[in-house]
Amino acid sequence: MKFTVYHESRIGKRRNNEDRLGYCYSREALLMVVADGMGGHYYGEIAAHIAVQTLTETFNREAKPKLSDPFMFLRQGFNHAHKAILDFADMQRLADSPRTTCVGCVVQGNVAYWAHSGDSRLYMLRKGKVMTRTKDHSRVQALVDQGVISEQQMPEHADRNKIYGCLGGQQAPEITYSRKTPLEAGDVLILCTDGLWSGVSGDLLANSVRNTPLARAIPALLDTAEGKERSYTDNLSALGVRWEDTYIDASSVISTKSMNRNTVTTKMDEFGRNPDHKTDLSDEEIERTIGEINAAINKSFPFAHSR
Q: How confident is the model at residue 280 (pLDDT cuts 50, 70, 90)?
A: low
Does 283 have pLDDT greater than 60?
yes
What was the pLDDT predicted at 248?
43
What was the pLDDT predicted at 124?
98
- Summarize the confidence of residues 41-49 as an average pLDDT: 86
Q: How confident is the model at residue 305 (pLDDT cuts 50, 70, 90)?
A: very low
31: left (phi over 0), alpha (psi -120 to 50) or beta: beta
Question: What is the rounded average pLDDT for all residues in the chain?
Answer: 87
Do residues 44 and 99 lie in contact, with contact meaning Cβ atoms separated by under 8 Å? yes
What was the pLDDT predicted at 32?
98
Is residue 101 situated within a structural domain? yes
Task: Return the SS3 of 180.
Answer: coil
What was the pLDDT predicted at 230?
65
Do residues 50 and 87 lie in contact, with contact meaning Cβ atoms separated by under 8 Å? no
What was the pLDDT predicted at 79?
96
- Summarize the confidence of residues 294-299 as an average pLDDT: 78
Task: Return the SS3 of 143.
Answer: helix
| Adjacency order of strands within the sheet including 121-126 | 129-133, 121-126, 188-192, 236-243, 2-10, 254-255
Is residue 305 situated within a structural domain? no
Does 16 have pLDDT greater than 80?
yes
Any idea which of 45-49, 168-172, 261-265, 284-288 has the lowest mean pLDDT? 284-288
Q: How far is CA 298 from CA 53, 171, 220, 293, in A?
A: 11, 22, 39, 9
Does 53 have pLDDT greater than 80?
yes
Decide the pairing of beta strands 129-133 and 188-192.
Answer: unpaired
* E strands present in 134-279: 167-168, 176-177, 181-182, 188-192, 236-243, 254-255, 265-268
Any idea which of 60-64, 89-93, 210-214, 229-233 has the lowest mean pLDDT? 229-233
What is the pTM (predicted TM-score) of this model? 0.83
Any idea which of 36-40, 48-52, 134-138 has the lowest mean pLDDT? 36-40
Side chain identity at 187, as an amino acid letter? D
**CATH classification of the domain holding 99:** 3.60.40.10
CA distance 225 to 21: 18
- 138 vs 36, which has greater pLDDT? 36
Is residue 164 situated within a structural domain? yes
The percentage of the chain sitting over the pLDDT mark of 70, rounded to a whole number, equals 90
What was the pLDDT predicted at 306?
41
Is residue 277 situated within a structural domain? yes
CA dihedral 59, 296, 118, 116 (to 10 degrees): 10
Is residue 105 situated within a structural domain? yes
Is residue 306 situated within a structural domain? no
Is residue 7 situated within a structural domain? yes
Task: Return the SS3 of 243.
Answer: strand
Do residues 237 and 19 lie in contact, with contact meaning Cβ atoms separated by under 8 Å? yes
Does 39 have pLDDT greater than 50?
yes
N- to C-terminal Cα separation, the chain: 27
Do residues 304 and 58 lie in contact, with contact meaning Cβ atoms separated by under 8 Å? yes
CA distance 5 to 243: 9
Is residue 307 situated within a structural domain? no
Domain range for 190 is 2-300
Domain total in the chain:
1
